[in-house]
Copies of this chain bind each other. A is one copy, B any other.
Amino acid sequence: MISFAGGLPNPRLFPVEEIADATEKVMAREGSAALQYATTEGFLPLREYIAARYRERKGLAVSAENILITNGSQQGFDLLGKLFLDPGDGLVMESPAYHGAIQAFGVYQPRFETVPLLDDGIDVDLLERVCESPGLKMIYTVTNFQNPSGLSYSAPKRQRVAEIASQYGLVLVEDDPYGELRFRGEQLPTMRSYTDGAVLLGTFSKTVAPGLRLGWVCADREVIEQLSYAKQATDFHSSGFAQRVLYQYLMDNDIDAHIAALTAAYKEQADRMLSAMDAHFPPGVRHTIPDGGMFIFVTLPSGLSALQLFKQAAREKVAFVPGQAFHPFGKGGDDSLRLSYSTLDGDAIEEGIRRLAAVMEREMSAAGSGV
């Protein structure tokens, strides 16, 4: 089976030895502290490191007080839901949207409002129209190489969405798990550059390793304090052991060099997938062109169903995620699918796309012949 379905970072690129070395140091120097209960907000040097990186790379005026360590970004969604969302509160999601966020926020029973994601970010005209509806509370966005679409917001659109959120008094959440994995084009500002109120989520899952389960929320100090209360009630704190090991790893290694190696590998895999798609996909099948991250999104010609395609593709031993997963309540998206290139080598990607193209062609000719 060639699976384009996973959303996993490439395990061959994990810094296994470096994490082992970091653990050895931590246990030798501060083993008891690493194994004891810790502060809810997170390991202070790690929070300072994250804030400093934002100051240097993004020009954000933030310090450790603006950072809460979480169990990946996913826990950030849960805490934001706990803090901000009551049943029936309006929550704007992109269409398609990241399914982990749909799932996490869904627990708090918001009223989902979906706004199409265009090639340069969310459709701001429709967003403004939705913002006129009563009871709207939050906008959730993924601005860089979104999961599932691979699409990114342009700089003007980031600014415009930040302005709209401020104007309507909405909580603006910018989820940025992939921002560091840019392999084309220039780094763009975060929404927090345009509005201090924006809540910015990050994670070490894509740049270091998901198994540490460490991410963060960057927000105003008052919001961080409230989220920390919620975090305390939820699980006291994230693993102090994992936090100190991660911090030691970051101190002892050149993270930028490591990220450069990651993005070089992902670029090669993405480009291989893009050229295979262009060579083999039937006319009428469209796909996005990501500037980073791990995903390419495919839109099928009318009449083709991604779920139907999924079943046929499984027989040819190739897998993907049908688009319905990226819509609240699974409503919509059957003309689309997500492909990940992150864990496969070039030849597997080529072969998988060939198989998928063949299945598409069969389905299209069946649909065309009215069968």
Contacts and interface: CB of A to CB of B under 8 A. Distances in A.
B236 A100 contact: yes
A241 interface: yes
Contacts of A17: 27, 31
A193 to B, nearest CB: 28
Contact of A233 (B32, B103, B235): B103
Interface stretch (A118-126, A204-212, A313-321): A204-212
Nearest to A25: B20
Nearest to A38: B211
Contacts of A32: 11-12, 14, 16
A78 interface: yes
Interface in A162-207: 205
Interface string A224-257: 0000001011111111111001000000000000
B213 A237 contact: yes
Copies of this chain, count: 2
A36 B12 CA distance: 10
Contacts of A212: 35, 239, 241
A72 B9 CA distance: 27
Contacts of A233: 74, 78, 103-104, 106-107
Contact of A20 (B31, B37, B78, B238): B31
Given A16-B27, A20-B28, A27-B16, A35 B210 contact: yes
Given A16-B31, A239-B239, A104 B234 contact: yes
A184 to B, nearest CB: 26
A239 B242 contact: yes
A323 to B, nearest CB: 20
B27 A20 contact: yes
B78 A234 contact: yes
Q: Which of A11, A14, A232, A234 has the most B CB atoms < 10 Å from its CB?
A: A234
A23 interface: yes
Given A23-B20, A28-B20, A37 B211 contact: yes
A71 interface: yes
Nearest to A209: B35
A103 B236 CA distance: 10
17 contacts: A9-B36, A11-B32, A16-B27, A20-B31, A23-B24, A34-B211, A35-B210, A37-B211, A71-B238, A75-B234, A78-B234, A100-B236, A107-B230, A211-B241, A213-B236, A213-B240, A239-B242
Given A103-B233, A239-B242, 17 more contacts: A8-B37, A14-B36, A16-B31, A19-B35, A20-B24, A23-B27, A70-B235, A71-B235, A74-B235, A74-B236, A82-B107, A104-B234, A107-B230, A107-B233, A211-B239, A211-B240, A213-B241
Interface of A: 8-9, 11-12, 14, 16-17, 19-20, 23-24, 27-28, 31-38, 70-72, 74-75, 78, 82, 100, 103-104, 106-107, 205, 209-213, 230, 232-242, 245
